[in-house]
Structure 1
Amino acid sequence: MSSRINIGFIGLSSKGGWASSAHESYLKNSSIYTIKAIANSTIESSKSSAEAFGVNKYYATSEELAQDPDIDTVVVSVKVPLHKSLIMPALLQGKNAIVEWPLGRNLQEAEELTQLARSKGVKTMVGLQGRQSSVVKKMKDIISSGKLGKILSTHLYAGGILWGPTIDESKSYIADIENGANMITVLGGHSLDAMCYVLGEFESLTATTHNARKTIELRDEKGNKIRDIPLTSHDQMSVSGVLTSGAYASAHLRGGSYKGTNLLWEVEGTHGELQVRGPNGHLQLSFPTLYASFDGEDMIEIAVHDEQDTHVNVGRAYDEFAKEGGLYPTWEDAVIRHRMIEAIYRSAQTGTKQTYKTTY
């Protein structure tokens, strides 16, 4: 890749949102990347965003953006059901590609995209930025060092904020499980990816999914109730099994936000323990606190000094993507995570233990 990476960005809105807070906030100060062009859902939106973010070129469609010879990498940060259709033109033009997690609505879409990217020889990254969390990396370092001894078990308990009693109209699509952006794929995908990144994949798993709430209250931008809509995305999920390392693992994920525990992740070894606590169940975008106990001593906080902002972990992923041999989640990693999620669904539907292929 050239010393400067030129980005075509699909889904960067001048009205705010994840793309502007997590991506543009990093990219605007980057010495590595330049946003060369923007394409949104309408030409008017594209023009507005280009003017707001100081970008010279804007397009009406992803096809037009993909044909721009000045662009070598295309970023897609839009609703999950549109991921595949919007990134396909870039792949066909041989552009490198960065897409938010989930990569597709389901495993089939993720596999199709990954196969095409591999056939074109392009570089890919998926937005599983929890791997860039300082806490996650510190846990991985401690475990790899052997300080905890043999890992015996791990337990994860997380709240999803969303998929609770109410939802904003702008996010209503996540209530429908068919759209692929649900509690299991988003909260589960990010948190279980961090767990598997640190401790290894499931050798086998058993899962239960449930809808404690059958409907969710839809609210307008002022917080007023519009109506109740069906909630087909699960708001409760538990999964347990044995990891490839031989350790036992369990997780309970639930929708909503609570006054009690929203994030608790524990790892137990023969010579020590780790514990992560935080007010937000989304490990990938929050900054929890890490505690450790070694050889029976009391738990102590392991200091991790981080800038606490939405763009931090996303920016670190961009930094790694720019390096030769950088450590970042590829689309092959995304396929493995989609396989795990499909195994969770199969187990919940059949009531049987399931496995999935843990390598690409």
Structure 2
Amino acid sequence: MADPIRIGIIGGNVNGWAGRAHMPALAAGVPGVELVAVCTTRQESADEAAKKFGVPLAFSDLAKMLAHPDVDVAAVVVKLPTHHDLAMEVIAAGKHIYTEWPLGTTTAQAEEIAAAAAKKGLRTCVGLQARHSAEYRHLRHLIDDGYVGDVLSCSMSQVGGGGTSERPPGRLWQRDAAVAANPLSIAFGHAIDGLTSVMGPIESVAGVVSTQVKEWTEAGTGKRYPATAPDDILVSGRLRSGATVSVHVAAAGGVGTGYRLDVHGTDGTLVLEATGSPHTSAPARVLGAQGGAKELAEIEVPQDDWVGASGLKGGPINIGKLWKSFAESIASGDDGFEPSFASAVEHHKLIDAVREASESGQTQEL
């Protein structure tokens, strides 16, 4: 058996995304990987994470973690505004690298990060884990196997709740569109990646990107702040296959309606329903109907054996699958791994095209 790929987490606070998804997944025994180090800005929080997840090395000095010979891959799991600088530090140290999505605050930043990693010959992965959802993968298998015949159209809706809820003080920075950590880049970015992993690339887009909730209320104080972050994204377009596509991603003021992807073809229909975004491993199911069927019926979705054995639930599941796939590509020397930094740059450009389509009122070709 090959030696496991050894991971160091940057931003390994137990209360953050690393503590809710990455470290639980890696500590649960994802095949082919080993969590060996965690780094935060305070030694106390690094020690806390190391103790909770059984990590042998804890750092508050990133340079020391990156210099450690037991770390093969460093994962940047921090707030978006610091992705660029930390990623460039990892690359300079010559470590293979995982960075959360979005790769950078802008496409230019993403291009710089990707180019630097490529110049060093490093393996890269961006945190677009929706494509590893068992439901997405099975949907793609069914379509490739001819379940719906020729695909005519697809439509996706993802509307969460709490769009007008009070925001914790630590989230208020996201109200500024300029920092790019908003539903257009994050919720839409993950959702559209999942869709294209099933349906193939998008060829052209038209759309409306808007800020419907123009003030955020701070939890605890009731203080109100102006918001410019886009929170409602409506897109229509055409896939490279020729099929049409429509997408709506937003946050409702009250109860959200979850996620739904409909695929219609010449011979049948497929539907993926989930209580939330599939990239978070929200409970989901696949339904279908063929030929003369009068109603949709649920289709059994195969699950990876190791997931059941690990006992993982929720967010860590697809993160664990992504780590497993990335580790396998490093071990095998596979140059075709996705989602890499190169594919992240293309994803940034897709979101730029959606924004430009909204601002110009003109369809954008990709």
> What's the TM-score, normalizing by structure 2?
0.90
Whole-angstrom CA distance in 2 between matches of 1:166 and 1:112: 36
**Cα offsets for 1:152-190 (capped at 9, x unmatched):** 111111124464433222222222222221101111001
Matches within 5 A, 1:245-256: 245-256=241-252
Match of 1:276 in 2: 272
What amino acid is the match of 1:247? A
Q: Does 1:182 align with 2:182?
A: yes
1:327–1:256 distance in 2 versus 1, CA, 3 Å: farther
Whole-angstrom CA distance in 2 between matches of 1:150 and 1:194: 20
Shift of 1:43: 3.3
Shift of 1:327: 5.5
Shift of 1:350: 1.1
Match of 2:40 in 1: 40
User: Which residue of the other structure, out of 347, 352, 356, is the alignment partner of 2:357?
Assistant: 347
Contact 1:240 1:251 in 2 (8 A): yes
**Cα offsets for 1:67-109 (capped at 9, x unmatched):** 2222110011111111111121211121110111111112111
Whole-angstrom CA distance in 2 between matches of 1:166 and 1:304: 37
SS at match of 1:149: coil
Stretch deviating more after TM superposition (159-168 or 236-245): 159-168
Q: Gaps spanning 5+ residues in structure 1: where?
A: none
Match of 1:312 in 2: 317
Contact 2:281 2:315 in 1 (8 A): yes
1:282–1:217 distance in 2 versus 1, CA, 3 Å: farther
Match of 2:226 in 1: 230
SS at match of 2:344: helix
Whole-angstrom CA distance in 2 between matches of 1:46 and 1:258: 37
Whole-angstrom CA distance in 1 between matches of 2:286 and 2:87: 37
Shift of 1:128: 0.7
Contact 1:39 1:62 in 2 (8 A): yes
Match of 2:147 in 1: 147
1:161–1:172 distance in 2 versus 1, CA, 3 Å: farther
SS at match of 1:125: strand
Contact 2:33 2:324 in 1 (8 A): no
What amino acid is the match of 1:273? T
Match of 2:343 in 1: 333
Percent identical pairs in the alignment equals 29
Match of 2:300 in 1: 303
Whole-angstrom CA distance in 1 between matches of 2:349 and 2:320: 27
Match of 1:159 in 2: 159
User: Which residue of the other structure, out of 235, 242, 262, is the alignment partner of 1:266?
Assistant: 262
Shift of 1:65: 1.9
SS at match of 1:184: coil
Match of 2:19 in 1: 20
What amino acid is the match of 2:79? K
Contact 1:160 1:187 in 2 (8 A): no
**Cα offsets for 1:117-163 (capped at 9, x unmatched):** 11111111111110010110011001111221111111111124464
* Deviant stretches of 4+, over 6 Å: none
Shift of 1:203: 1.0
1:79–1:163 distance in 2 versus 1, CA, 3 Å: farther
Stretch deviating more after TM superposition (127-136 or 326-335): 326-335
Stretch deviating more after TM superposition (110-119 or 61-70): 61-70
1:257–1:74 distance in 2 versus 1, CA, 3 Å: farther
1:343–1:119 distance in 2 versus 1, CA, 3 Å: same
Whole-angstrom CA distance in 2 between matches of 1:8 and 1:287: 29
SS at match of 1:170: helix
Whole-angstrom CA distance in 1 between matches of 2:38 and 2:291: 54
Whole-angstrom CA distance in 1 between matches of 2:122 and 2:256: 45
Q: Gaps spanning 5+ residues in structure 2: where?
A: none
1:260–1:46 distance in 2 versus 1, CA, 3 Å: closer
Match of 2:118 in 1: 118
What amino acid is the match of 1:24? M
RMSD, matched Cα: 2.1
Stretch deviating more after TM superposition (311-320 or 33-42): 33-42
Shift of 1:328: 4.0
SS at match of 2:321: helix
Whole-angstrom CA distance in 2 between matches of 1:116 and 1:2: 28
Q: Does 1:242 align with 2:238?
A: yes
SS at match of 2:218: strand
